[in-house]
Structure formats: C-alpha cells, structure tokens
Amino acid sequence: MMRQPIYGKADTVVVLDFETTGLSPTEGDRAIEIGAVLIENGEVTDRFQQLMNPGRRISRFIEQYTGITNHMLRDAPPCEQVMQNFAEFIGDYDMVAHNASFDRRFLNAEFDRIDCGYSGQFACSMLAARRIYQEAPNHKLQSLVRYKNIQNNGVFHRALADAEMTAHLWLTMVHEITEQYDIASVPFSLMQKLGKTAKSSVQNYLTRFSQDVDQSGKFSSGGSGLG
C-alpha cells in the first residue's frame, strides 16, 4: 500500500543515502546499499536499510571506504529487488539527501532499470547548510554533525547511519528557521529555493518570506510565489 504523505512540508520527508561501487551510474556504477529515514511532522516514524548485490565484485577501495565487503554482498538480494521495495517505502514523499545530485542520479538509474518512477521532489541538505551555516569549517556531513553537536555513533559512509544523521541535520535547520524567522511551518519549497539562493541574500530572503505568510503558515496573496 502506498503511503499518503502530507505534501509540501519540510518536516515530512524521506531522507536517503546510497553507498555505491563508484561515482557515476553513467559509467556503469551501481548501488550496493541504501538507507532511508521517514520523517513525519518532525518525528522519525520509519526506517529502510538494505545491502544489494550489484552483480559484480566491488573494489578494495570501496570496501575500505564503506566497510561493505564482497563477502557481505555475496548473499544480498539484487539491486532490482531492493529498489522495488524501496519504491513502496518512499511512496509520494518528497526526498532529502546530503549532496542530493549524487543520490538522485543513482536513484534515477536504479529505478530506470526496473521501469519505476517517483512523484516526490528532491532537496539537498548540503546546499541548504551552505546557506544557513556559512561560518561552518566545511559542509561535509561529518563536519556539520560535529559543528551542530548532533548525536551520533561515529559510523559514517554506511547508508542508514548517514541518512539518520542527515535527517537530524535537516530537522535542526528547519527548526532554527522556524525559531529565528517566526515561520509557523517551513514549506519544502522554501528549503529547495534556499539551496539556490545567493549566500549574501539568505537573510533577506528568509525575512521577506516570513513577512509574506500568515500566522497559519499559508501564503498570503502577496506572497513570495513559492506555492
């Protein structure tokens, strides 16, 4: 049964992360693990994690980088089976990833292989963090987790662990926007737009946005047009 999301809310999304054989599906690289966290109204309500067999051996570098070994993948289900299950998990929810262009390429490539699509949109937590935390040392996930003192178990480059930390980072950013700019409910479209806003214009953009919405969080007639 497909999930029924609450559309358009930044605190109601699926946060996902892939581990892969390499950097580019157009060069033949495949997914080897997916992890995802479902957030509904700011609370984690479900998780998805699965290793998947790409149909060939992975390099020693990938084994060392991810901790995922060829032995672990040998008996894992094929990518096609895992991605079919993942399509049911995400339903129509909007999605978030850290460096979303990477994860979106692999999601599209793996879904294309099973003739599957999705209706949700993507936002990038890394692009948003570059605007919100401009003073951070850098905007890698591990660095931002330390910078914002986000609780973690020290595991990185495994899909579910990275998805969990990205989810907490995302909710931290959404919460800080609501508090600082007195926005009752942050729309997903705001976070998408924020990731494309010039860094020097972020404060003015969020201030203007907060003035263009009424107390219920809905857009006023003279709003910013983010819809």
Residue 216 lies in a domain: no
Q: Is residue 182 assigned to a domain? A: yes
- The predicted model scores a pTM of 0.90
Q: Tell whether 201 is covered by a domain.
A: yes
Write the CATH number for 129: 3.30.420.10
Tell me the C-alpha distance between 87 and 15, whole Å: 13
**Amino acid in the structure at residue 215:** Q
The answer to whether residues 73 and 32 touch, using CB atoms and an 8 Å cutoff, is yes
Which has the closest alpha carbon to 193: 135, 127, 146, 136?
Answer: 127
| Cα angle 117, 119, 125; round to 5 | 105
CA 211, chain centre distance (Å)? 28
Residue 74 lies in a domain: yes
Position 117 in a domain: yes
| 52 found inside a domain | yes
**Would you say 40 and 7 are in contact if contact means Cβ atoms under 8 Å apart?**
no
Beginning with the edge strand found earlier in the chain, give each strand of the sheet holding 122-124 in spatial order.
43-51, 31-40, 13-20, 95-97, 122-124
Q: Are 111 and 118 in contact (CB under 8 A)?
A: yes
1 domain residue, yes or no: no
Task: Determine the structural domain holding residue 35 and report its residue range.
Answer: 13-211
Residue 105: burial class (beta carbons within 10 Å; 0-12, 13-18, 19+): middle
Q: Answer whether residue 6 is part of any domain.
A: no
What is the per-residue pLDDT for 214?
Answer: 52
User: How many domains does one find in the chain?
Assistant: 1
- Least confident among 73-87, 118-132, 155-169: 155-169
Q: What integer pLDDT is reported at residue 63 of this predicted model?
A: 96
**Summary mean pLDDT of the chain:** 90
Residue 155: per-residue pLDDT: 62
Higher pLDDT, 4 or 40: 40
pLDDT tier at 217, thresholds 50, 70, 90: very low
